[in-house]
Structure 1
């Protein structure tokens, strides 16, 4: 099984790219993590719906067939790290690759949200795009660490 973060947005600050690369490197061989940047639609005079529709097409092109789709959404499941680890364990039992979608400035198309296999919420706070990407990579690494029985400082 593979994990892939598909994130609308490009040209992240070096600290975001370097930090995400470090977490990718730490992931076990049997659960590799990829990050695919999706080019945002130029704003111009387009409506929000037009922007989201164009980005939806780009995301669809980047998705591998048959994968589990997990959208990051402010109304998604608010999980603790241990709960994320259990969710990851269930995804691993399912065996399908997992695509975790991070929308751009206008979010994600409503169709993705409705058709997603899972919806996750990273925080009640509004996070900058790069920080959300980094936080997701770190939490996926931490969830894997929990599943491999590495000590977790909040246990007990």
Structure 2
């Protein structure tokens, strides 16, 4: 199993990069993980709903073009499934047993396009709260790492 995080946005603030990098290094011994940063559409100050839709479509197209044929796409969005850490660990264990490669899609500030949502095998919500998309990177990689520590009986996760 391989995990690729397909995310809209580049050049994150230092605090985001530092937090992400810490867990990214930690997870590598457990599962090969990669992050693919895709450019965010250029936004204006007074964008209309039509403009915002256009940005989402453009960003969604770049996510779908980056997706590999063998990958199972999972869309991260507020209205997705809620998983406990233990359920995530079980899900990841199933992916490993099936040899399933996973692509996790993080949209830009306006979310994911309808095309990405439709292509996704399922949708995952990290929280009922609306999180800024840079913060989602940190929460996501930490939860993936935590699930891998559960699977491997590592002391990081304490229930």
Same fold (TM over 0.5): yes
Q: How far is the alpha carbon of 1:143 from its aligned partner?
A: 0.3
Say if 2:10 is the partner of 1:3.
Answer: no
* 1:17-56 superposed Cα distances (whole Å, 9 cap, x missing partner): 1221121211244611111111111124562221111112
* Dislocated runs of 4+, deviation >4 Å: none
- Aligned partners of 2:64 and 2:116 also within 8 Å: no
What is the aligned counterpart of 1:131 among 106, 110, 135?
Answer: 135
Q: Distance in 1 between matches of 2:114 and 2:139?
A: 23
Q: How far is the alpha carbon of 1:65 from its aligned partner?
A: 2.0
- Number of residue pairs aligned between Structure 1 and Structure 2: 154
Counterpart position of 1:114: 118
Q: Distance in 1 between matches of 2:2 and 2:30?
A: 8
- Aligned partners of 2:89 and 2:151 also within 8 Å: yes
Counterpart position of 1:142: 146
Q: Distance in 2 between matches of 1:52 and 1:95?
A: 31
Say if 2:65 is the partner of 1:61.
Answer: yes
Say if 2:52 is the partner of 1:48.
Answer: yes
Counterpart position of 1:153: 158
Unaligned runs of at least 5 residues, structure 1: none
After superposition, the CA RMSD in angstroms is 1.5
Unaligned runs of at least 5 residues, structure 2: none
SS in structure 2 at match of 1:119: strand
TM-score w.r.t. the length of structure 1 is 0.91
Q: Distance in 2 between matches of 1:28 and 1:145?
A: 12
Q: Distance in 2 between matches of 1:23 and 1:30?
A: 12
Counterpart position of 2:97: 93
SS in structure 2 at match of 1:105: coil
Q: Distance in 2 between matches of 1:6 and 1:28?
A: 17
Q: Which moved more, 1:49-58 or 1:22-31?
A: 22-31
